[in-house]
Amino acid sequence: MRKNIVAGNWKMNKTLQEGVALATELKTLLAGKQPNCEVIIGTPFIHLATVAELLKDSVIKVSAENCADKPSGAYTGEVSAAMVASTGATYCIIGHSERRTYYGETYEILREKVQLALANGLKPIFCIGEVKEEREANKQNEVVKAQLEGSVFNLSAEEFGKIVLAYEPVWAIGTGLTATPEQAQEIHAYIRGLVAEKYGKQVADDCTILYGGSCNAKNAAGLFANPDIDGGLIGGASLKAEDFNAIINAF
Ligand code: PGA
C-alpha cells in the first residue's frame, strides 16, 4: 500500500550527543500523537544504534544514509547493510545525489546496494533526480528513467514493492530553490507512469514517491497536496525538531 512518509536526512551533521538531543526532542513532540504519515529519521551510521534504541517505542523509524556495495569483508571504513539492520534501523537511503556526485556511485554500485539492503530486510529509499543543466535542457525525464533502469528496474515486482522512491532535483537540494508543486507533480506522475509500464498499475499505485530539495514547513503542504507526491525527504529542515515537526503536520 502506498504510504505518506516524511523522512529526515541529517547528512554529515550532528555529533552523537547532538543527534540524541534532536531525536529526543522529536520523540517528545510526537509523543502520544498519530501523525498522518510515517516518520523516519536518516542519521549517520554512528548514531543509528543509539537513536534506534531511543526511538524503539515511538512512531519514528530510523534510516541509514548509505550502505556498502559489498556484503562483508576487507573493505576498511565501510558499513554493510547487515550491520545497519543489526542496529534496529529499518530503512536505508541509497543513491543520494551527494553520493553519486562526490563518491562516484554508479548505477551498478547502486544496484548492488539496493539488492544488499533488501536482502538484509532494509527498505531502500532510492533517490533520483536531474542536475540544473539537465533541467535547463529539458532532459529530466530521460535522466530519471535512466537512473531507474540502471539501478532498480532489475528488481522483481515483489522486491520493487519494498522500495520508496525519492525524486530530488539536484538544483533544489540545499539551495532554497524548490521545484514548484506543478513541476514536482509533473515528474512524479511521469515516474509513476514508468513504474506502471515496468511493473503494472497496482505496483505503481502502491509506490511511495517522495519529493526532496529545499522542502520546508512553508512549502510542504503545497507539495504534498498533489496526487503523486507522497511526502518528502528533508535535509536542512530536518535538523531542527520544530521545523521537521511542522513538515510532518503538513499532512
Ligand atoms: P535539503 O536536502 O532539504 O537540505 O534541500 C534534501 C536532501 O538532500 O535529501
* Mean pLDDT of the region 135-161: 98
Domain count, the chain: 1
Which amino acid is it at 83?
M
* Most ligand 1 atoms within 8 A of CB, residue of 10, 63, 234, 240 to mutate: 234
Residue 135's pLDDT is: 96
Q: Which residues have a Cβ under 8 Å from the Cβ of 225 and sit 6 or more positions away?
A: 181
* Most ligand 1 atoms within 8 A of CB, residue of 125, 168, 173 to mutate: 173
CA of 81 to the centre of ligand 1 (A): 23
Ligand 1 atom closest to the Cα of residue 212 is 6
Burial 238-249 (b: 16+ CB within 10 A, else e): bbebebbbbbbb
CA of 73 to the centre of ligand 1 (A): 32
Whether residue 63 has its Cβ less than 6 Å from ligand 1: no
User: What range does the domain containing 131 cover?
Assistant: 5-248
Burial, 55: exposed, middle or buried (Cβ in 10 Å; 0-12, 13-18, 19+)?
buried
Confidence check: pLDDT of 160 > 90: yes
* Mean pLDDT of the region 98-112: 98
Percent of the chain whose predicted confidence (pLDDT) is above 90: 98
Residue 146's pLDDT is: 98
Q: How far apart are CA 144 and CA 45, in angstroms?
A: 27
Residue 119's pLDDT is: 98
* Domain containing residue 180: CATH number: 3.20.20.70
Whether residue 169 has its Cβ less than 6 Å from ligand 1: no
Angle at 63 between CA 245 and CA 159, to 5 degrees: 120
Asked whether the whole model's pTM tops 0.95, one would answer yes
Whether residue 212 has its Cβ less than 6 Å from ligand 1: yes
* Mean pLDDT of the region 159-179: 95
Residue 155's pLDDT is: 98
Residue 1's pLDDT is: 84
Residue 42's pLDDT is: 98
* Mean pLDDT of the region 185-194: 98
Take residue 200 and report the three cell numbers written for it: 503494472
Taken in order 207, 211, 216, 222, the sign of the CA dihedral is: negative
Angle at 83 between CA 80 and CA 84, to 5 degrees: 90
Q: How far apart are CA 210 and CA 196, in angstroms?
A: 17
Q: Is 230 helix (H, G, I), strand (E, B) or coil?
A: coil
List pLDDT tens digits, range 49-100.
999 999 999 999 999 999 999 999 999 999 999 999 999 999 999 999 999 9
- Does residue 105 contact residue 144 with C-beta atoms inside 8 Å? no
Residue identifier of the C-alpha nearest atom 7 of ligand 1? 235
Nearest C-alpha neighbor of 192 from the set 142, 154, 163, 229: 229
Q: Could you tell me the end-to-end alpha-carbon distance of the chain, in angstroms, rounded to an integer?
A: 17
> With bands split at pLDDT 50, 70 and 90, how would you rate the model's confidence at 175?
very high
Confidence check: pLDDT of 171 > 90: yes
Backbone angles phi, psi at 237, to 5 degrees: -75, 0
List pLDDT tens digits, range 131-144.
999 999 999 999 99
Catalytic residues, by residue number, are 96, 168
Ligand 1 atom closest to the Cα of residue 173 is 5
CA of 5 to the centre of ligand 1 (A): 15
Nearest C-alpha neighbor of 84 from the set 55, 127, 126, 113: 113
List pLDDT tens digits, range 6-38.
999 999 999 999 999 999 999 999 999 999 999
Percent of the chain whose predicted confidence (pLDDT) is above 70: 100
